[in-house]
Each structure stands twice: as structure tokens, then as C-alpha cells.
Amino acid sequence: MHRRPALFLDRDGVINIEKNYLYKQEDFEFIDGIFELGDYFQKEGYTIVIVTNQSGICRGYYSEEEFKKLTRWMEAEFAKRGIKIAKTYHCPHHPDFTGSCSCRKPEAGMFLQAQKDFSLDLPKSVMVGDKPSDIEAAKRAGVEECYLYDGKEVASLKDIIKLHKERK
């Protein structure tokens, strides 16, 4: 069976501008370059997967259904541009409220579930996150190519395309 690599994307701070406990469509602002990034990796044969911690659910700031509604809208915005998001995985937990879990980054649970669901080649996959915990989770799952999009290591999402091409 042929395994495909994935482009793993964190949501808040990578796909959209970080806003605390974002769950409303009208507050969602896409980050410049996210659609170009998705398009590039999709054309390269990558499965696109979103992995996002969403502790606002267990904190009671928004419901699972409100999160899913925003996710459907966000995925549709990608689809309008010809980009297929295979799945958005989320962790609704937080250790202070629900105890520990295997899905909250920096744990690798969401990556490993995606690997099972889509038969992914994790070592050949790519992770783009804006926090060290995103990168740590990806590395724990065996993802070798990781980019910390924090304005320092990687200044723009378009830079990731250039850096990826240099690694090939």
C-alpha cells in the first residue's frame, strides 16, 4: 500500500490570525499565504490535515457544535480555492479541566490518528505550527520536516514553500 505524506497545519496562528477562543466566522481572518501554501503542497501530492488544540470547548467558551460549524465553513473556504482539507482533528481537552489526554499537543495523538485514517507517511510529512508544542507533537509522531511559523524562524507562510523546495 502506497503511503502519502501529509501537510499538517495548526489552525490558530497558522491558518487564521490568533484570537483567544475563536469560534465565530465573523472573527476569523485567514493569514496571508495560507491558500498558496495549501495549493502548493496539494499539487505536490500531500494530504492536508489540520491538527488543533481547542480547550475553549472544555472551558465552556463555545460548544463542540459551534467549533464544527466554524470548521465546516473554514474547510469550504479552502474548497472554493480548489484545496481539499482531508480532515480537521481537534483536542477539546485541557489538563486543568479534563486531566491529561493523548491528543492535546505536545502529545502526538492527533497525528497518529490521522496516520491510521489516511495511511500517511509521517517521516515524509510536513508540520507548520506557531508554537513549540506543535513542533514537539509532530516530532513525537515522527514528522521530520517541521516549521515554526512565529515571525522569527519563518517570517511568512510563502517562505515555507521556498524552504521545502530547498530540502528536496
The residues that are catalytic are: 10, 12
User: Cell triple for residue 78?
Assistant: 479552502
User: Cell triple for residue 15?
Assistant: 491558518
User: Cell triple for residue 60?
Assistant: 465552556
Instruction: Give alpha helix (H) positions in the chain.
Output: 34-43, 64-80, 95-98, 109-118, 132-141, 157-167
> Rounded to 5 degrees, what angle do the CA atoms 21, 22, 23 make?
115
- 4 in Cβ contact with 120 (< 8 Å): yes
- State how far the Cα of 110 lies from the Cα of 91, in Å rounded to an integer: 8
Non-local (6+) Cβ contacts of 123 within 8 A are 142, 143, 144
- 134 in Cβ contact with 89 (< 8 Å): no
Q: Which of 146, 122, 138, 110 is nearest to 47 (CA)?
A: 122
